[in-house]
Amino acid sequence: MKTFPKSISLLLILILLWSCNNSTNNPSAVWPTQGEASDNEEYVVDDLGISVVWTAYKFTDRVGVSGTFEDCTFNKENASGSVESILNKLKLTIPTECVDSGNAIRDFKLRTYFFEMFNTAAITGTILNAKKGEGAIKLKMNNISLNTPYTYSLQNDTIVIFTHLDLKRWKGEEAITMFDKECAEHLKGTDRVSKLWPDVDVTIKLPVDRTGH
């Protein structure tokens, strides 16, 4: 029977230990990677299939609550082309009144006690650049425009855009406090502490068709 030299065995153990110590349980840290797409491949966006999904976090142990925005408008500088050319300078407008968390009472409170306090009738954004699976998008909320990073990938003929937002950058503390106050009983975890986290994950899906060029 063949045996590994001690030096090789030690190296394998160190690699396994390093891999275990670098794992993560933070869902916010898992950004999509770019799928395989030829630079010469051209696509056109299917506007009717666009979706915007958000995930907020409550309780001390960060339990995710997801929902959607049922309406959004996209203005594309390039109606078709490569993934990068479609994304570059793409503009989006999301009316916050169309928020849908799957609960009518919670939706009313989101519109009344969060977005109105946040002074944001619509979220607007412009993608500034897109290259090799990442870029920056300028988002306007609470009358404040800030650049934030995002990643994108091509998955099963869908461009998937992901960004992680810290609402404190847009001075959202007052709106978070107001919503927390109105929904305190629903934001208490097993420790009976009411907690609404200031960060939100947003995923935008743009279905595309290959143009055949």
Condensed to tens digits (0 to 9), the pLDDT of residues 21-73 reads: 333 333 333 344 445 445 568 898 888 889 999 999 999 999 999 999 999 88
CA distance 133 to 52: 19
Compare 117 and 9 and report the one with higher pLDDT.
117
Tokens of 41: 């491949």
Residue 189: pLDDT over 90:
no
- List the domains of the chain with CATH numbers: 33-210 (2.40.128.110)
Q: Which pLDDT belongs to residue 75?
A: 84
In this structure, how many other beta carbons lie within 10 angstroms of the beta carbon of residue 175? 23
At 126, the amino acid letter reads T
Residue 179: pLDDT over 60:
yes
Q: What is the pLDDT of residues 59-105, one digit of tens each?
A: 999 999 999 999 988 887 766 889 999 999 899 999 999 999 999 99
Q: Is 38 exposed, middle or buried (0-12, 13-18, 19+ CB in 10 A)?
A: exposed
CA angle 33, 98, 26 (to 5 degrees): 35
Q: 51: helix, coil or strand?
A: strand
Q: Under a CB-based contact definition with an 8 Å cutoff, are residues 137 and 163 in contact?
A: yes
Q: How far from 22 is each of 13, 19, 209, CA to CA, in Å?
A: 15, 5, 38
Q: What is the pLDDT of residues 97-145, one digit of tens each?
A: 999 999 999 999 999 999 999 999 999 999 999 999 999 999 999 999 9
Mean pLDDT of the chain: 83
Q: Under a CB-based contact definition with an 8 Å cutoff, are residues 13 and 50 in contact?
A: no
Q: Which pLDDT belongs to residue 212?
A: 62
Residue 202: pLDDT over 50:
yes
Q: What percent of the chain has pLDDT over 70?
A: 79
